[in-house]
Chain A
Amino acid sequence: MSRIIYWSSLVFAFFFLVAPLLIVLPLAFNDSSFLTYPMDGFTFRWFEVFFTAPPWLASLMNSLKVALGTMIVALLVGGMAAMGTMLMGKWGQLVLSALFVSPIVIPSVVLGVAMAYAFGRMGVGGGYLSLVMAHTILAAPLVFLSVMTSLKGLDPELDRAAASMGASRWYRFQTVTLPLAMPGFATGALFAFITSFDEVVVALFLASPQSQTLPITLFSSLRDRLEPTIVVVALLLSIVSCLFIIALNRLQKRGETRN
């Protein structure tokens, strides 16, 4: 009896979790302009549309540019924030961590309104720069968290050993702690990239037609009409997510063996 409850609820929940994407994504190869089963045949023509029709490829390139820019800047900002915070005392750490992590909990629409207004006043209107600036704030907390986690997880014995040999705290930090925390930086960089690459709400407030990112194009065509190309985009974005998870796994395994 209890087994039946357990397994039936588990199967239902699992199905609910995975089925939508598993059912919908294959339609990217459907040789029909309708998004229904049974499939009429196998085709790559919707991929062809994606790579030739004007808005899609351009917005993919925009997304890549913005995500790379965000990755670099957020790594710098979040990484330096984490290292600086680690060197502070207990209360300093508490306050600074709260500051650096807080953008995660602010609703994106609120950030979008605030940034659209403030960036406009600063004279950085819609464009790559404003998108990178905004996404940096969304991504830096994740870089901060992953670098902090790896810095905190380090074996204190190593640091103590260095200290017993008379190395100063800053010197120890530079030579012992930092190199060991490199996986944290790499993870943070991945987080930053994917955060920016998938972000849509803040970008809706900030992007101009020239800097329109892939999620924005997807969002507006979803409101417009359903064509198989949107499933192609969904599939491509899902593939990026899969690659991301694989990379993350690799990094963690490497981190574990090194520690």
Chain B
Amino acid sequence: MQKAPSTLLAAITLLVLPVAVYIALYLLPLISIGGLSVDNGALSTRFPALSAHFSDSAEVDDPAAAALLSDLQAMAKKDRAEVGRMFNQELGGMRSLIIDTGNEADEIVPTVAGLTAFDPRWGDPAIWDVVRRNVEPITWRHFQKATGVKPGADGGYSIAPGDDIYLRILLRTFVIGLQVTLLTLLIGYPLAYAVATGSSRVQAIVLMAVLLSFWTSILVRTTAWVVLLQTNGLLNGFLIWLNLITEPLQLIFNRFGTVVAMTHVLLPFAILPMINVMRTIPPAQAQASRSLGAGPIETFLRVYFPQSLRGVAVGGGTVFILALGFYVTPALTGGPGDQMLSYYIADFVRKGLNWGMASVLSLLLLVCVVGLLVTGALLRRAFGWNKAAKPEAEAA
């Protein structure tokens, strides 16, 4: 394709604004997460003397004590409080230690003995360990916390049992994602099949329902489930009215509520790709199979179903990847044991002010999602499914 200079110029002119907007409002924020996950500037810049000391030697000696005290003296009162809070995320009790020491810094003899005399905790090597690790400009503590890997005293690493909480939450996120994916495929398949093969009336009605559901906001559909699943709500009332149960069941704030609501919310994302693939399967094949004597079930299982698998894979993959990042629906319908990684990310920002942990967990989620997308693309290539399913936007 030959390109006139004027065309290239036009292309570049058109692209300047969008690319600039994407860089400023999208790429830079995402990159800042990476920086934030290891950034320790808030601490290291406030301990210039101590940071300089520890870059020369790891020794906790009198110069270290003097450097600590001079740094604390130089800080404003509110900075000491902020520094103390950050240390406290590492080791309980450090906040008051830092604040008290800072308030009295003028009076304390600038030696290790002097510090220990002021507060015996300064004699504890564990406290100094935390201080030393956290005055460096770069920190891996958030990564260590997220993975449960702890640096040992001998320089090695170990995973303490029970400390891998975020990995377990990641596992839970995957389990819920899988449960929801399986259910959406089971429930979505007949609907997609009806749209692809049903009479034109059935097609129109089902497709309309799917599209309406697709374009109704996730929050609105979650609202419907919150109302339905209440303990004294509609579903329990209905079951009691049918005499199926006598006491209301706990349907919400548990795994059941989360999975049911998420399945409903994500259903259209499974159905639309399946419809796209099923529409390409020629009905003549099934007719041929039937005319050769195969029963309808056998025909379906041996002729139709294998060809529709590509849609099932695309639909299932879409649902699974979307499910991993879910926040609103589990937050409203799940209990504390059903919250997914996103919940903890939001919690670290909104409650804990811990941007470092939020960034690390965000990176973890991001890596999972991108990894799955890449795997999906490779699988597609391997199976020769290169003709990508149409974007959902088009299906509307």
Contacts and interface: CB of A to CB of B under 8 A. Distances in A.
Given A89-B1, A108-B327, A84 B12 contact: yes
A18 B7 CA distance: 50
Contacts, number: 256
B4 A170 contact: yes
Contacts of B58: none
B226 A237 contact: no
A112 B365 CA distance: 13
B366 A106 contact: yes
Nearest to A27: B227
Contacts of B373: 105
B396 interface: yes
Which among B4, B22, B217, B218 has the highest number of chain A CB atoms within 10 Å? B217
A33 interface: no
A252 B295 CA distance: 40
A50 interface: no
B15 interface: yes
Interface stretch (A41-49, A51-59, A139-147): A139-147
Contact of B221 (A20, A35, A84, A119): A20
A133 B29 CA distance: 12
Nearest to A1: B297
A23 B221 CA distance: 12
Interface string B221-248: 1111111101011100100000000000
B329 to A, nearest CB: 11
A218 B187 CA distance: 28
Contacts of B26: 103, 137
Contact of A83 (B14, B219, B220, B234): B14
A136 B29 CA distance: 14
A92 B7 CA distance: 14
A60 B394 CA distance: 29
A241 B219 contact: no
Nearest to B300: A2
Contacts of A252: 396
Given A133-B25, A241-B212, A110 B18 contact: no
B321 interface: yes
Contacts of A133: 25
A237 B22 contact: no
A146 B349 contact: no
24 contacts: A10-B191, A14-B206, A14-B209, A21-B220, A23-B224, A36-B232, A36-B237, A80-B14, A80-B15, A80-B17, A81-B15, A81-B22, A85-B15, A112-B346, A113-B358, A117-B29, A117-B355, A118-B29, A145-B393, A169-B6, A219-B328, A234-B224, A237-B220, A252-B396
Given A107-B366, A109-B345, A113-B33, 5 more contacts: A6-B190, A109-B362, A222-B226, A230-B227, A234-B223
